[in-house]
Every structure is written in C-alpha cells, then in structure tokens.
Amino acid sequence: MTLDELLAREAIRDTMARCTQAGDSGQWDGYADSFTEHGIIQSERPDGALSFRHEGREAIRAWQRDWKSRPRGEGYRPDTSFAQHCLSTCRIDFDGAGRAQVRTYWFVMTDADPDHAGYYLDDFEASEGRWLIAWRRVRSHALEFARQRLRRRGQTDGPLRSSNLTDRPLGLARDRSR
C-alpha cells in the first residue's frame, strides 16, 4: 500500500464522517457537498425495489432540506427527537486513478432505541480536490427482518425493541424500567 493510497483512504473516511454528521444535524449543505456535482443517492428495499433516487447535488440538497423540515412522525421521518447514524466496518477498494468502491455497514440509533440498519455501497471519485461520493446505494435490511419476526409472533404494535426480537436480550436497548 502506498502513501497516496493511505491518504486517499483517510480522505474517503473523512468525507463519510462529514456527510453522516451533517445529515444527522440537519446541515443539508454539508451533506450535499459530500457528493459530486452529478452525484446520485438511492435507497433500495430488501426485495430490490427502489425507495427513492435523487440525482445531482442540488436535488440531494433539496431532498435533505425537505426531509428535515417535515414535522416529526410525518411521512418517513421518525417521531424521535434525534437520529444518529453510526458507521462501522468499511472496506475500500480502488479501481483506478481517482476512483474507489466502498462498502460500509451502518445502524441508526434514536431516543426510541435502534431504528434501522444496513450498508452503503458507494462509488467515490477524486473531485474538486477531495474524495466525494459519486453514487450511493443505501441498503436497509436489519430491522425489516426483525419486523417480519414480530409479525410472525403477532407483535405488530409498539416500538421495535431488542426485547421483542428474541427470547434473550440483544444488549442494544437499555432497560427503561429501572
């Protein structure tokens, strides 16, 4: 591994952190500026169906602005006081000068417990003197499986909590009864 590759890896991780923190804090300019001018973000359901797709930095900025300005609980905005995306395992593969493919696992915590999880498939490009996201495919899956398990058990109401998901605690949700 060369020094240039190490520096590129850290620049990609920096872009991901800035994007995530900007999105969680409602700074849509910072979020959109993590994408190339013609960047794409799209979300796919576990069955492969497209949830949404936004093309171009300005469309991504408008989507963030619209989503963050909705009242809590309206549409697909959760009725929580905060959401915090947590990034974990990240694999970066370079596929030529100024291009990289990145797969990163993530989960979202809210004040109502773990909310959802999945992974990003990102195409990064060296652009405008930085490493920016050219195409992000958001794949959310973990809690959809949990919801299916709850439906099979007849537990369809109430928040999705670790105690509902299995016969033994997952250790993710804190016990609020104390």
Per-position DSSP letters for the chain, written without gaps between them: --HHHHHHHHHHHHHHHHHHHHHHTT-HHHHHTTEEEEEEEEEE-TTS-EEEEEESHHHHHHHHHHHHHSPTTSTTS-SSS-EEEEEEEEEEEE-STTEEEEEEEEEEEETTEEEEEEEEEEEEEEETTEEEEEEEEEEE-HHHHHHHHHHHHT--SS---HHHH-SS--S-S--TT-
Residues 31-46, mean pLDDT to the nearest whole number = 94
pLDDT digits (tens, 9 = 90+) for 74-116: 555 556 677 889 999 999 999 988 999 999 999 988 877 777 7
Residues 104-130, mean pLDDT to the nearest whole number = 89
> Is 3.40.50.20 the CATH number for 3-160?
no
Summary mean pLDDT of the chain: 81
pLDDT digits (tens, 9 = 90+) for 63-75: 998 876 776 655 5
131: pLDDT strictly greater than 50: yes
| pLDDT of res. 173 | 39
pLDDT digits (tens, 9 = 90+) for 7-30: 999 999 999 999 999 999 989 999
Confidence of residue 123 (pLDDT cuts 50, 70, 90): very high
| pLDDT of res. 170 | 36
The domain limits of the chain are 3-160
163: pLDDT strictly greater than 80: no
**Percent above pLDDT 90 for the chain:** 53
Is-contact 39 136, C-beta < 8 A?
yes
Tokens standing for residue 63? 């989507």
Q: What distance in Å separates the CA atoms of residue 96 and residue 105, rounded to the nearest whole number? A: 23
